[in-house]
Amino acid sequence: MGKGRAPCCDKNQVKKGPWSPAEDMRLVSFIQKHGHQNWRALPKQAGLLRCGKSCRLRWINYLRPDVKRGNFTKEEEDAIISLHKALGNRWSTIASRLPGRTDNEIKNVWNTHLKKRLSFKNGNNSKTDDSNESSTTTISSSSFSSEIPQSRKRNSENAHDHDHKQVSMTTKKPRTMDSIQDLKSEDSNEPKETKEQKEFPTSSNNSNMTSSGQVFVSKPEELQTDPRSDYNGHAALDEVNKPEFPDIADGIQSDYDYDFWNMLDGFSSFQSNSDLHLHIPESSYSLNLNDSCNNWEVDNRMWLRYLESELELEDQ
DNA sequence: AAATGATACAACCGCCGCATT
DNA sequence: GAATGCGGCGGTTGTATCATT
């Protein structure tokens, strides 16, 4: 290979930085319909001005239906610690043992909490940070469980007019995920990590996908939005439905209203009512794609409709 | 109230390994 | 067997937010 690798995408033609809600919706919508057999081709097909890798990453780390967010339990942390001891920085392998957790997230937790905590425990109380950490050791486990988050929760009133480029990074809105988590936790005890993880060593395999990558819908609640900003939901929905997405790089103002998240929180009820396949057991993976396709397409439409109605965006 | 530092985490980058041609 | 394409992985960076001074 003397020529070196061709870049995976034309860096000048792709958008970088945080994902806007509209992009998220578009990606979710596309994957729900078509799966993700080819990441490289996906952005084009979906009308996204993104690198395929970026799409993949966004999907795996954030938009996947079964991605668990926040609320690292003590057990999970302990598992990470012991797995890291055994495996080292093989985050994806570690992630495969922790259903719903992504390698990226685990990596972050390790780097920001566990590593410090361990070094402190090991007597490396090298001072400030560690002592800090010690006082917040509760944090590490519960930092993700809603104690700390309180403090880190975005304050919707603080709206400065930030460039929307930080939307997703800052719109973690982690706690809104709790509602999902509740739903998910219903079957979180399923033998996921046993069979699945042996067969599917990578973190991406936790998702409710068929072998072709098609996905049983979740609500795009995972969408990162900025509660501070005044999101134009209609625009986002329009974008999703548009065949082309030419100006996504600049055209989408990813501004959500904080209420939007509350609304999404409430969505769980809708979801359960509508039999949305938020958390399909592994056995469902074997379902015939065509059979399930229509169902979740309908679900998807239902979700969009619900969203529109909640946003009062229904066609008038 | 403002400035500064620390923290958290989403996203990017580059490399590697496998599959295909 | 070599070249190429793609997905995946791990390390690192950038920046919003919170805490402290």
Q: For the segment A266-282, what is each residue's pLDDT rounded down to a tens digit?
A: 433 333 333 333 333 33
- Does strand C come within 7 Å of the CB of A284? no
Determine the straight-line distance between the first and last CA of chain A, rounded to whole angstroms. 59
Question: Closest residue by Cα to the C1' atom of nucleotide C16?
Answer: A170
pLDDT in tens, A156-188: 333 333 333 333 333 333 333 333 333 333 333
Which residue ranges have CB below 7 A from strand B?
A 5, 8, 11, 15-19, 51, 53-54, 57-58, 61-62, 69-70, 104-105, 107-109, 111-113, 128-129, 132-133, 136, 139-140, 143-144, 148-149, 152, 168-169, 172, 174, 224
- Does the structure show a pLDDT above 80 at A303? no
Length of chain A: 316
Residue–nucleotide distance: A286 CA to C10 C1' (Å): 32
pLDDT in tens, A56-98: 999 988 888 878 776 688 888 888 888 888 888 888 889 888 8
Give the orientation angle of helix A258-273 with respect to helix A289-310, to 10 degrees.
Answer: 140
- Does strand C come within 7 Å of the CB of A7? no
pLDDT score for A316: 38
Question: Mean pLDDT across the stretch A125-134?
Answer: 38
Euclidean distance between CA atoms A67 and A111, whole angstroms = 20
- Select the more confidently predicted residue: A303 or A141: A303
Euclidean distance between CA atoms A144 and A123, whole angstroms = 25
pLDDT in tens, A198-225: 333 333 334 444 444 555 544 433 333 3
- Select the more confidently predicted residue: A29 or A186: A29
- Which nucleotides in chain C lie closer than 7 A to a protein CB? 3-12, 14-19
Residue–nucleotide distance: A211 CA to C6 C1' (Å): 17
pLDDT score for A15: 85
